[in-house]
Amino acid sequence: MKKTKTNNNTSWGEVADWYDNYLETNKDSYQEKVIAPNLIRILDIKKEMRIHDLACGQGFFSRKFASAGAVVTGSDISKELIEQAKKHSRDIVYSVSPAHKLPFLKNNSVDAVTIVLAIQNIAEFSETFAEAHRVLAPGGRLVLVLNHPTFRIPKRSSWDFDPKSGVQYRRIDGYLSATKNEIIMNPGKAGSETTISYHRSLQEFFKTLSKNNFAVTRLEEWISHKKSEKGPRQKAEDIARKEIPLFMMLEAKK
């Protein structure tokens, strides 16, 4: 029977071991090949730059920032993920805390807050942006990376193929309405744990950031680095990968 967490705030605790193993052993992951190098470029880390990695999980990106010279702190609501993070690095200060409550950080105390592949799992959307604004120094940046909200909509988007034109395309069955969905983390595993994912439209991101006194300064869309194996749809699949982005990055300044 599939496990379902009744408290969606801690749903990632159920998959902590699986997620840690995936990130640490898969050297061809999107996190390693696409997101991490782009984030390092976007952040333009200087020595001693203060970064808080909010909803940091098991610290994969926190360690990347620290290796680039930043002074990093991290937090996550899942104590299981924070335990994993502490095992990987004793030089980063990690805290167990919900995304919208960071009592261990003073006002105006960090230069950047990152939320990487996590905002879609957080129920307290506006409150989290408000807390990020509180802890950021004047001119500080909030950097979000998420599954592209236009093309990757849980249970309302999918890949399809038109045999007549030979085109692979993205089918979108809904977009504007906000939704909450259970996501099976490992579809190939019987009884796989689930996590909660919230879909919000692009305009909702802009409106909520503006409401919390952020100005969006940059938007980028990142594509897959992977290529299809040889077959009748190889060309169509590779074209689709280049044309339809998987991830979106939003930078907003205080």
Chain-centre distance for alpha carbon 241: 19
Give the model confidence (pLDDT) of 212-230 as tens digits.
999 999 999 999 999 999 9
Side-chain-side CA neighbours of residue 19 (13 Å)? 25
User: Which tens digit of pLDDT belongs to each residue from 92-104?
Assistant: 999 999 999 999 9
Q: Where are the alpha helices (DSSP H) in 68-111?
A: 79-88
Q: How confident is the model at residue 1 (pLDDT cuts 50, 70, 90)?
A: very low
The domains of the chain are located at: 8-148+182-228+246-253
Query: What tokens appear for 27 in the block?
Result: 């050297």
User: How far is the C-alpha of 242 from the C-alpha of 246, rounded, in Å?
Assistant: 10
pLDDT of residue 205: 98
Q: Mean pLDDT over all residues of the chain?
A: 91
Beta strands in the chain (DSSP E): 50-54, 71-76, 93-96, 110-116, 136-147, 157-162, 167-172, 179-184, 194-199, 215-222, 247-253
**Would you say domain 8-148+182-228+246-253 falls under CATH 3.40.50.150?**
yes
Taking only the tens place, the pLDDT of each residue in 56-76 is 999 999 999 999 999 999 999
